[in-house]
Chain A
């Protein structure tokens, strides 16, 4: 459970609601005019894991997931 986790965004599901941006603006963004969210970075530190899990839960399109990065 230590170390970074990888953020996964399924752009086929994403609706660019922006709910994730309100939780983690340093990880997600919904640029004006973009039909989907973008990742500002694809790794988060272990201590941000709870917030990432909240963003994953809150996504109405179920477009977010996380996984342990391949070592």
Chain B
């Protein structure tokens, strides 16, 4: 069983808390992605699992075994580093065989396993070369191969794609997903790129300043972010936020913001009745804002006036930077729209997709 459990794990460097009370249960064969801005603690969490850092408080389990004070080599894990960390003084074959040799696997078996993995990753022809003679993509595959050949219970990956150029990155992403399906091993993956996280993970753990913000499937993170940080972090361009107040009267609950007043659909009234008069943050994603003259048939919502500030033609859509009252927002609209700078337009906010957050705590209001 190769599940992984973080139980109240805290990591301190001197006075600085890099990871605060982390609690996560990762199931066997899951592909879990840690994502967050730099310094959020995602790499530290990975390194704690690898045994490269000591846990300050709490317990770490691989399977049923508590591994707090177990050497990295005894945890049955393999890791792919951001810089690949290939042994420069050894050729590719020796790099791949390194771990096996240390464990006294006999050389016939080593040959077999290395050839197998090299074949799968298409690096068979490079076995006699040294890392310095390989391209970035090839090195990355050798790093992967070195991990695979050890047949570990858990794979750890620390931003393995960030050193590749954009095109190679997309390609390798797909390969990694296929690899996961083929190997069926638990993978713990760290990245700062939310697109990577969303496309690859079966579940994503969003972290900020050492604290786990939310751990959920990509869809849930996108549709139901637990707090403002997650809402802003996931999705590109980021969600638009407006300071507002929740107002209520018998028939109508509305959001009053600078320069607009939005009525909330009746289905949601009951839930929000407790929160009236509250200072909130109203969030809506750019893709849920439409130009009034191009509203898809099944979408309804509230209309708002705004002025166009910048028009970015991206090809398959247009990004409109708008000024609403005193705030700015971004909308993704149909590429055929004809708008120009300075123009006043009417926007439709799809209220079914709205998000509300407490102004002080940032927690979602549901």
Is the A/B pair a real complex?
no
Chain B interface residues (CB < 8 Å from chain A): none
